Amino acid sequence: MAVENIVPKQRRPDQIIALDALTLRDRLAGGLLRPTDVAAAFVSQVRTREEEVQAFAAFDDGHVMAQAKHLDDMRKAGLPTGPLFGMPVALKDIIDTKGIPTENGTSIDAGRVPPADATVARKLKAAGAVIMGKTVTTELAFLNPGKTRNPVNPAHTPGGSSQGSAAAVGAGMVPLAVGTQTGGSVIRPAAYCGTVGYKPSFGAISRAGILMQSPTLDTVGLFAMSVEGVAMLGDALFGDDPADPATTPSAPPALLATTLSDVPVRPALAIVSQMPGDVAASEDMLLAMEELAGILGDDSFPLILPPMFDDAADIRERINFAEMAKCYYAYERRGRDQLSPVTLQAIDQGKAILARDYIAALDWPKLLNTALDEIFDRCDAIICPATPTSAPAGLSSTGSAAYNGLWTLCGVPVVTLPLFEDSGGMPMGLQVVGRRGNDARLLRTARWLMNEIKVTSGEMTDA
């Protein structure tokens, strides 16, 4: 009897949302779950958690269920299904979606409905995903917070700028979500909300149809509750796009297949407990890193990044602000009085940067990657705190991206793992950093590390 003719057992919504993304995908592909079953379960979870978390900028349960019903009908008709068949995915509200509002976190774009999909949205639809809605971003994907609250404790920030995407995954409202990072906008909220966050190598995923803040830095990033989940999503989104000159023709990455494979030898990990700059890690974070070093033992060694990395934060900011002044000129011209002081300050700083200094800053990623290549000759990955502390209390700030900007500047792939908790029970993330272009190997190492820590310590939960 054909799989599609078998009537699946009815499952409670809480059973469905508890499934990891890979299991969910496999059950959808095998006909054990219908797209409408899955969509209804996550719609129910949105209704349960959204009032508290406020992760969505645009959510239409009728549209969600209509997409799922269409996929049900496709299967019944025997039509081909894609690799993300029936998987709900939420998109940050700077990613254009045809017919769905994309307001970029600013009143200047209130009511804006794009006429076409961004490449990311188009690829998701082609893969059979269900677009769950648009998640809250900070104003123009910078630092002024949106309405979203931390799903672990709503009195704390969820981070930014991809705050809604991280919070939606952390609250179980979607299994997968897409965001962007220019400084720390994927890794930081993932760490604060207790999810896996993945910032691929620069240029791996097209940014066509996405609000551009900094062409040199902007990177599409992914959220899930597992490394396998972000690898699966990455497989659907990686690839060349003539509409984004940062992408280049390349072979399919086989992210998930590599992630699921066994490591050939136990990875060697370089531990950076204190990142460059003047932002010190909390005692909880330092204790967690010390405990981790003890668990890894001979598989790790301490690393202090060379002095040249001390200037990386200023260099990244210089590039970011100079390009932001150019990219956001139209917003300033149309509605300067509607922009927040923090956004205007960055734009005004960008205007004051000399062309000579901006052009010189563009040389730094290559220099820093040359130094990193020497480090990666000695190790499989660098591990370090994802943030100096857990999510700060209050909603007036998105927290510190001081430990993320270096890796964004260098364009290297980064995964944050929800391995730690602070003494108050709030999540803290561990960053795992790989060589530029070696995304699949990095994800495999991150999965190995996640499993190794769970087996060795029964999960590192209390620093």
Catalytic sites, residue numbers: 92, 161, 185
Which of 439, 98, 68 is closest to 237 using CA atoms?
Answer: 439
- State both tokens at 284: 């909880």
Rounded to the nearest angstrom, the gap between the alpha carbon of residue 368 and the centroid of all alpha carbons in its chain is: 23
State the amino acid at position 64 in one-letter form.
V
Which of 285, 284, 189, 259 is closest to 449 using CA atoms?
Answer: 259
Q: Residue 123: how many CB atoms within 10 A of its CB?
A: 20
Angle, to 10 degrees, between the axis of helix 227-237 and the axis of helix 439-457?
170
Rounded CA separation 132/44 (Å): 12
Helix (H) or strand (E) holding 58: strand 56-58
129 CB-near residues (< 8 Å, 6+ apart): 82, 84, 86, 87, 88, 89, 176, 236
Rounded CA separation 188/285 (Å): 14
The residue length of the chain stands at: 463
Residues 187 and 406: beta-carbon distance below 8 Å: no
Residues 94 and 88: beta-carbon distance below 8 Å: no
- State both tokens at 316: 């990244």
Q: What is the DSSP string of 113-180?
A: --SS--HHHHHHHHTT-EEEEEE---GGGSSS--S---SS-TTB---SSSHHHHHHHHTTS-SEEEEE
> Exposed, middle or buried, 44 (CB in 10 Å: 0-12/13-18/19+)?
middle
Which of 276, 89, 320, 311 is closest to 185 using CA atoms?
Answer: 320
Binning the chain into helix, strand and coil, the percentages to the nearest 5 are: 45, 15, 40
Rounded CA separation 352/69 (Å): 53
